Structure formats: C-alpha cells, structure tokens
Amino acid sequence: MLLLLLLRLMMLQLPFLLHTFATIAIEIIMSLGEIQLNYYSESCPNAEEIVKDEVIRLYHKHGNTAVSWIRTLFHDCMVKSCDASILLESINGIESEKTSPRNMGMRNFKYINTIKDALERSCPVTVSCADIVALSARDAVVLLGGPRIEMKTGRKDSKESHLAEIDDLLPNHNDSMMYVLSRFQSVGIDVEGTVALLGAHSVGRVHCVNIVDRLYPAVDPTLDPTYAEYLKRRCPHPEPDPNAVEYARNDLQTPMTLDNMYYKNIMNNKGLLLVDQQLVSSPATSSFVENMAANNDYFHEQFSKALLTLSENNPLSEKDGEVRRDCRFVNSD
C-alpha cells in the first residue's frame, strides 16, 4: 500500500523531475567550453586562413613573432584557461597580466592586434582572441620547422585578468623539477609531455636577469665551462638592468628551428635556465631527454600532443566569456 502511494507520488512529480534534470544538464553543457574542429566553418569560413596568412606575413617581417606566439600560448593557457586574459591592458579595474615578473621578456603583443584587425575586416566580432592565441601558436610551430597540429576552436575570451594567480600557476625558471612537473600535471600534461614542451626553449632568447644567478658570484658547476664563458660575455654584469636588452640565445646552432638540438645542448651542459638543466639531472625526466635528443620525430610527436592538451585547458563557454572586439580590452570598456 505504502509502496503504491510512493509510486503514485513519483508519477505525479515526474514532469517536475524531468524538467529539473533537463535544466541541470543544460546548465552543465552551457558551462563547458564547446570547442570543436572548424568551429568557424559557417560564421567565418576563412578564419583559419586569415590567421595563417597574417602569421606568415609577420614572420617574414619580424621572425621572432613566431617564437612569441608559442610562449604566449603557454603563458595564457597555463594560467586558469586559454582565454586571452594575458592580452588585457591595465584599465578600468583590470590589472594586466603583462605586468607580472613571470611574463618578463614577452614581446610582439602589438602584432596580435594586426591579426585581429585582419579578422575583424572579414568577420566582425566573431573570432575570439583566445583562438588567435591558439591558432597563431599552431602556425608558428610549422614556420619554425615543427609539426602541424590540428587544433579545435571556439574558445571565448575572459572578461578579467588573472594577475593575482600567476605566481601560483605559472612555474618559475628556478623552481624544482618536482614542482614544475606537478604544475603541468594539473593541466593534464604528463612527465613526457612536460619534457617535450620545454623543447620550445629550442628557439628564442633569455634575458640576463634570468641567467646571472648561474654565473655570479661563482659559475654553476653544471654549466659547460666554455659555454659559461660565452654567457659571461653576453651577460657581463652580475646585476643587470632588467630593462636592458641583454640576453643570450636559447640555441646557438639552430636558433630559429623547433628541433631536438635543445636536448642535445642540455645533455652537453649547455642549458640556459636552471629548469632546462634540471631536465637532465632529474631522474624523472632524464630518460625522456635522451630519447628526444636521439629522435627529432619522437620529440615532434610528443610536442604536438602536449601543446594540444595545453591549448585545450579549460576553455570558456559562451556564458562565461565573450568575443572581444579589441584583444586589449573587454567589450564593456
């Protein structure tokens, strides 16, 4: 009798229960970033071509833009979400992430606007800045001799900066390898993927402020002595002016190629940053370094996989983000 009563009560409540479940399901779907391959196929069919053309054009004018796009993806996606928060300027209560010491040395932001302007001319307020960050990095990897990576699109742009969280989320160049690995693990990248991603240090430069601790007052014994002499010539002051353009190149042999020379260098004690050198000395990472040094295809394969995972970190949904008109400002500014 009691059971019958309970069943009847449930039947009466069924429409209400179904409605509640449906509402919860819609809420969940809305809160997930819906990224997919060719997201712009109808709204802006040439979006990916436009980005690629601009990235190539900029590369031929200023080769280091390609290097920048790869670092920008890392610094954007590692901090909470691939949401172009890094591109926001300090205005109206927003404190730009660009002011964080962790983002020191980042360059070429102004050319993101060049890419955005080209997109706005064809498809106004359609392609997010977060997707520009992802696609420009993808195209830059190819220009620098790396692999072609299929990337999804449909990320939305944040309406806030995450300056306050950067120190907790973005590893520093002198952090321990265990800490670095745990940071990458928190965004779904394993040890092998972390070793591969650091291979991005096969291109670009490091300012002397990030190197001098390994040179003064005494040279770090894990540095090759001849290489240390070269670094001291590049960085002659123990306390360099942080604004001075004093730097050393990551890879002297193939400075503009995303290749496994990085691993060969660090195995020869020619890593610039402490984090680079630690890849060789840490038992958790050293065997991956050896394998990547021995096989460029294997490095490229692992790099593609890990960069893809990084590029899909926690994309914002329509509900939480927007498509900025100007990558430097939220639309309400």
Q: Residues 226-260, buried b or exposed e (16+ Cβ, 10 A)?
A: ebbeebbebbeeeebeeeeebbbebbeebbbbbbb
Of 94 and 103, CB closest to ligand HEM: 103
Q: What is the closest distance, in whole angstroms, from the C-beta atom of residue 245 to ligand HEM in the complex?
A: 10
Nearer residue to ligand HEM within complex by CB, 40 or 146: 146
Binding of ligand HEM at residue 107 (CB under 6 A)? yes
Binding mask 1-40 for ligand HEM (x = CB under 6 A): ----------------------------------------
Report d(CA 175, CA 26) in Å as an integer. 41
Structure tokens given for 333: 């500014």
Contact 44, 127 (CB under 8 A): yes
Is the CA virtual torsion 234, 235, 241, 243 positive or negative? Answer: positive
Q: Is 207 annotated as a binding residue?
A: no
Residue nearest to ligand HEM (CB): 105
Q: Determine the interface stretch with ligand HEM among 36-44, 50-58, 89-97, 99-107 (rule: CB under 6 A).
A: 99-107
- For 272-308, b/e burial (b = at least 16 CB within 10 A) is bbbbbbbbbebeebbebbebbbeebebbbebbbbbbb
User: What is the Cα–Cα distance from 96 to 89, expressed in whole angstroms?
Assistant: 5
Check binding of 71 to ligand HEM (CB under 6 A).
yes
Choice among 62, 75, 207, 237 that is catalytic: 75
Q: Which is nearer to ligand HEM, 203 or 330 (CB)?
A: 203
259 is in an annotated binding site: yes
φ, ψ at 37 (rounded to 5°): -70, 140
CA distances from 219 to 52, 225, 327 (A): 43, 8, 43
Residue 68: CB minimum distance to ligand HEM, A = 5
Residue 261, CA atoms < 13 Å, CB-side half-sphere: 16
Q: Is 326 annotated as a binding residue?
A: no
Q: Does 143 bind ligand HEM (CB under 6 A)?
A: no
Smallest distance, Å, CB 311 to ligand HEM?
10
- Verify binding: residue 210, ligand HEM, rule CB under 6 A: yes
* Least distance to ligand HEM, CB of residue 207, Å: 3
Q: Which of 33, 204, 271, 315 binds ligand HEM (CB under 6 A)?
A: 204
57: helix, strand or coil: helix
Annotated binding-site residue? 237: no
CB 91 within 8 A of CB 333: yes
Q: Say how far apart CA 17 and CA 260 lie, in whole Å.
A: 57
**Known catalytic residue: 162?**
no
Q: Is 203 in the site for ligand HEM (CB under 6 A)?
A: yes
Q: Taking a C-beta distance cutoff of 8 angstroms, is the pair 234, 247 a contact? A: yes
- Under the criterion CB under 6 A, does residue 171 sit at the interface with ligand HEM? yes
Q: Is 138 in the site for ligand HEM (CB under 6 A)?
A: no
Binding residues for ligand HEM, per CB under 6 A? 67-68, 70-71, 74, 104-105, 107, 171-173, 180, 197-198, 200-201, 203-207, 210, 273, 275
Annotated binding residues, written as ranges, equal 76, 79, 83, 85, 97, 171, 201, 251, 254, 259
